[in-house]
Amino acid sequence: MKDEQEQPIKLPDPIEWSRSLTRIAQQSQVLVSDFLKRQKMDGGGSLPGSMGDPMNIGQAFFEMAARMITDPGRIVQAQFGLWQDYMNLWQNAARRFMGADASEPLIAPAKDDKRFKDQAWNESVVFDFIKQSYLLTARCIQANVRSVEGMDDATARKVDFYTRQFVDAMAPSNFVVTNPEVLRATLESGGDNLLRGLSNLLGDLDRGQGNLKISMTDLDAFKIGVNIAVTPGSVVYQNDLMQLIQYNPTTEQVHKLPLLIIPPWINKYYILDLREKNSLVKWCVDQGYTVFMVSWVNPDEHLAAKSFEDYMLEGPLAALDAMKAATGEDKANILGYCLGGTLLACTLAYLTAKGAADRVAAASYMTTMIDFTEAGELSVFIDEEQIDALEQRMNKTGYLEGSAMSTTFNMLRANDLIWSFVVNNYLLGKDPFPFDLLYWNADSTRMPAAMHSFYLRTMYQENLLKDKGGITLAGVPIDLTTIKTPTFIVSTREDHIAPWKSTYAATHIYGGPVKFTLAASGHIAGVVNPPAANKYCHWVNAKLPKTPDEWLETAKQVEGSWWPEWDKWLAKASGGKVPARVPGDAKLKVIEPAPGEYVKVKAS
């Protein structure tokens, strides 16, 4: 007996369905053959980029299995519990089949889980059974993995992470016959969605030169400098590693001290200047700041030897000199984002050791780590085996491919950034929706071999930056505790890349006055949160207790963006007002209009 709310799927005519399948098979064969003709297999007969088991996953799972079999009782208990859940689920499903009202589900997806948003997952007895069966199994698998005792922390994190990747991959939403939305589309279209999906799949494989490069957005919908990264300005200085953009003023008077923004070079700077409505750059200009932006180069093999030290010398230090020529000001304020913030901390320690700390009046950090003790899920990728494999790859090319970094970050949110697009593009056969943030996410950058190896080993793996003199840059031992510059730190509560409890450690490392603010959401959305959107809240606390948990317990929640809170703090450190400065009017002349050429270089 059917559920009264269940919407039956209309079955096609069997003869027409057979013809459609024949047509799909014929056209698919043509598409696949055409793709294979355009691909060159490497000497070993595998697609380019094949690396075997560079992450040492097999060894980690072997160790987990060895630990598990030493406690067979726990395995039996877990299996019994799962079978009991299955029996209860079957009984609930049987009652619904017999016409009884639906009982409370044994398990439900998380509120932010978008995989089961189709109504059929709840209204159809069959699909509800499939959904709950999967969720129960996933919970059991992950609980068993996390309960294994005796593994070291690094192995436990790796096993947990890749178990979740496996569990996410096996979700019923990722398969045609167990996803009601896909099944409905397949039956109603006679399978045309799968044909379009195969064409999309082969297109993405071709774009990735044999490696799958999933299209997350319409790549033709945006053009840098036309409808994205459009805040008016000019490139007024450049060197091998960066172009320096000075933005046009929108106010008659501006704060005396200019503001330099240092973005991470793992991504392109225009995450902070997507479109007018969500541009931090545009907002800062409108608040009366003379804004300068570092636009990092997308390096190739010619810059393989560029080091972290070079990024400091040719990045913020070169920018400070250029800004003095452009504005006449000896001092500036600096904002560093993520890795750009880590570089900022190193630069301030360097300037302090050189007796030039007063060149920076105030320092701001967004989602920045300087203590990598708890590096979050990125630590899964940082062990000797993986770094060694990565260095071997980089030594061949001189850089880390942009796609490698992109894949790593996407895996941290696999359901949102991988599997949702697999379903949309390949199973439903739809074209991805134009979205500025995802266009930026797909616009990957490369990393110079020398710099990236240093960064991974000395900071992530050995965690030396927090130690006094733990690293040396340009002949200067870096000691972050010597930094007396007034500091504003903003972190985000759901950050998977720079966990906020790790970033909080900086509050007790820097030697000067520190203000810490916590924003809602994650590494990107929590930062790119314009006040006009009135979207995410933030927390403030004048005190800095020893632990982040204590800080949050006594913090005050404030609705809306953290940007105005930061503006009030920064304005006090920016001096009085002076007439607005126009790029090219002082000693630095305009090289080219913003956004410049460096940001337009694509990674292969």
Return d(Cα 81, Cα 83) in angstroms, integer.
6
Start-to-end CA span in the chain (Å): 56
DSSP state letters, 154-186: HHHHHHHHHHHHHHHHT-GGGSSTT-HHHHHHH
Q: In which band, very low, low, confident or very high, does the pLDDT at 23 lie, cut at 50, 70 and 90?
A: low
Mean pLDDT of the chain: 88
Q: How far apart are CA 229 and CA 439, in angstroms?
A: 12
For residue 473, what are its two tokens?
A: 């840059």
* Low-confidence winner among 11-25, 136-150, 491-505, 556-570 (lowest mean pLDDT): 11-25
Q: Residue 175's CB: how many other CB atoms inside 10 A?
A: 14
Question: What angle is formed at CA 545 by the lines to CA 539 and CA 548, rounded to 5 degrees?
Answer: 55
pLDDT digits (tens, 9 = 90+) for 71-119: 677 777 777 788 888 898 988 889 888 888 777 899 999 988 999 999 9
Catalytic residues, by residue number, are 338
* 332 φ/ψ angles, rounded to the nearest 5 degrees: -150, 165
* SS3 readout for 67-98: HHCCCHHHHHHHHHHHHHHHHHHHHHHHHHHC
Cα angle for residues 17, 18, 22 (degrees, 5° grid): 115
**CB–CB of 169/419 below 8 Å?**
yes
Alpha-carbon distance of 562 to 94, in angstroms, equals: 51
Selection from 297, 228, 233 nearest residue 441 by Cα: 228
Q: Token pair of 255, please?
A: 């704060």
Q: How many CB atoms lie within 10 A of CB 100?
A: 11
Tell which phi-psi region holds residue 522, choosing left (phi > 0), alpha (psi between -120 and 50) or beta: beta
Residue 27 pLDDT grade (very low, low, confident, very high; cuts 50, 70, 90):
low
Percent of the chain with pLDDT over 70: 88
Q: What is the mean pLDDT of residues 425-446?
A: 93
Q: How far is CA 138 from the centre of its chain?
A: 24
Question: Cα separations (Å) of 468 from 119, 170, 191, 471, 477?
Answer: 57, 47, 63, 8, 8
What gap in Å lies between CA 340 and CA 266, rounded to an integer? 9
Of the options 3.10.20.30, 3.40.50.720, 3.90.550.10, 3.40.50.1820, the CATH number for the domain spanning 233-371+473-600 = 3.40.50.1820
pLDDT tens sequence across 185-223: 998 888 889 889 988 888 888 887 777 889 999 989 999
Q: How many CB atoms lie within 10 A of CB 589?
A: 12
**pLDDT score for 41:** 43
How sure is the predictor about 406, in pLDDT bands with cuts at 50, 70 and 90?
confident
pLDDT of 251 above 50: yes
Residues in the chain: 604
Q: How many whole angstroms separate alpha carbon 376 and alpha carbon 395?
A: 27
Using one digit for the tens of pLDDT, what is the confidence trace for 313-351? Answer: 999 999 999 999 999 999 999 999 999 999 999 999 999
Evaluate if residue 19 carries a pLDDT over 70. no
Residue 498 CA to residue 337 CA, distance in Å, equals 11
CB atoms within 10 A of CB 406: 22
Instruction: Look at residue 375 in the predicted model and tell me its pLDDT.
Output: 86
Q: Where are the domains of the chain?
A: 51-190, 233-371+473-600
